[in-house]
Each structure stands twice: as structure tokens, then as C-alpha cells.
């Protein structure tokens, strides 16, 4: 199956970038291709890290205000530490940097879990999901976010025993965090 992007242009360039394209592609069950215009949020790639604090048996999460969620939530969102990959930055290096900026922990080793698109119908953003283990002695800075980005982040410790209840309660609306916590359960890393 083939596709053609006839024209693509940036129609908005602010905190986020939006592109508009004219596309033609083959159909599954028709001989004639289909053509249409689409807008896409061209955000770039990002990382997220599932951080397990071994000596407290807790997952390290963060809480911050997320404006796009206010239509359906209070806006204060609990999620994995995450952030954008800067130009030409290796995803794993971005993950180390974001963990330190947002949580204050220095993690020795990260394991790549998965790379995925959260909203492939409207965004180019790929997320690289990592797993790392720390102890309380690995917290070497305050965390709370990068001062140059004016972030305001609070650290939340989730006891691993509460993960099943949290997932079953449907009170955690963040996809990357749900994916990571389910992965954690599947890996039998929980010790009850």
C-alpha cells in the first residue's frame, strides 16, 4: 500500500508546532485512493521513566499541573517523570537528565521497556519508556523540575502494594503511567 504527501506546511509555531498536509493513500477495499487534508501536532519525541525505589518498595511519580486535562480533571496530574528529547539527544541520555531534574535522583542504569505513539491520529510524538531502580541514598538533589523551564513539580511515592488497586480504581488517567505500572506487574517485580 502506498501513500503520497503532496504538500506539508507549518501553520502554527509556538510552544507546540502544528503542520497541515495534503495526503493521498491507497485503501484496503477500494481501487481508488483517498485524498484529504490533515493537521498534525509535531511535538518531537519524549521519554518517560518508571523509577522504583528499592529500599522503600515505592514507585517514584511526580505531580504537576497539566492544562490540557482541565476539561475532565482538576488539572493536577500524577504521572511518571517525563520530558522532551532535545535536538540530537539520545533518548536514554534524555531519560537520565529528566529523572534528575524532576525527581532529584541519580539513576545508575536504565532499561528500555518500549517505544510507542500515544495518539498516532493527531501527533508525531513517540515516547521512549524506560525502567530504573534507585534507593533513597540516590536522591542527590531536590528535584521539582528544571528552573530554566519554570517547572513546579511535587514528588509522589506510590507503595508497590497499592499499584493493583490504583489500576483497578480507574483514577489514574495517564496512559504512559498505566502502561508502565502494568509492565511492572507483569515482570513480577512486586513482592507482596
Q: Which residues are annotated as a binding site for Mg(2+)?
A: 82, 98, 102, 151
Give the chain as a DSSP string.
--EEEEEEEEEEESSSEEEEEEEEE--SS-SS-EEEEEEEE----EEEEEEEETTTTEEEEEEEE-GGGTTTS-SEEEE--EEEPPTT--HHHHHHHHHHHHH-B--S-EEEEEEEES-TTTB--EEEEEEEEE-GGGB-S--S--GGGT---EEEEEEGGGHHHHHHTT----HHHHHHHHHHHHTT----
Annotated binding-site residue numbers: 82, 98, 102, 151
Amino acid at each position: 500500500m502506498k501513500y503520497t504527501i503532496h504538500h506539508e506546511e507549518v501553520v502554527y509555531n509556538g510552544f507546540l508546532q502544528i503542520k497541515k498536509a495534503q495526503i493521498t493513500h491507497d485503501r484496503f477495499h477500494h481501487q481508488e485512493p483517498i485524498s484529504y487534508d490533515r493537521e498534525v501536532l509535531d511535538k518531537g519525541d519524549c521519554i518517560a521513566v518508571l523509577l522504583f525505589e528499592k529500599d522503600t518498595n515505592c514507585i517514584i511519580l511526580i505531580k504537576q499541573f497539566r492544562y490540557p486535562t482541565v476539561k475532565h480533571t482538576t488539572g493536577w496530574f500524577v504521572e511518571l517523570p517525563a520530558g522532551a528529547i532535545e535536538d540530537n539527544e539520545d533518548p536514554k541520555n534524555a531519560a537520565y537528565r529528566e529523572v534528575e531534574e524532576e525527581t532529584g535522583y541519580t539513576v545508575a542504569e536504565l532499561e528500555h521497556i518500549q517505544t510507542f505513539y500515544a495518539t498516532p491520529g493527531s501527533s508525531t510524538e513517540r515516547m521512549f519508556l524506560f525502567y530504573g531502580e534507585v534507593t533513597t541514598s540516590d536522591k542527590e538533589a531536590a528535584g521539582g523540575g528544571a528552573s530554566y523551564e519554570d517547572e513546579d513539580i511535587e514528588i509522589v511515592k506510590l507503595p508497590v502494594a497499592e499499584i493493583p488497586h490504583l489500576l483497578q480504581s480507574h483514577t489514574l488517567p495517564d496512559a504512559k503511567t498505566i502502561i508502565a505500572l502494568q509492565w511492572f506487574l507483569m515482570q513480577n517485580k512486586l513482592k507482596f
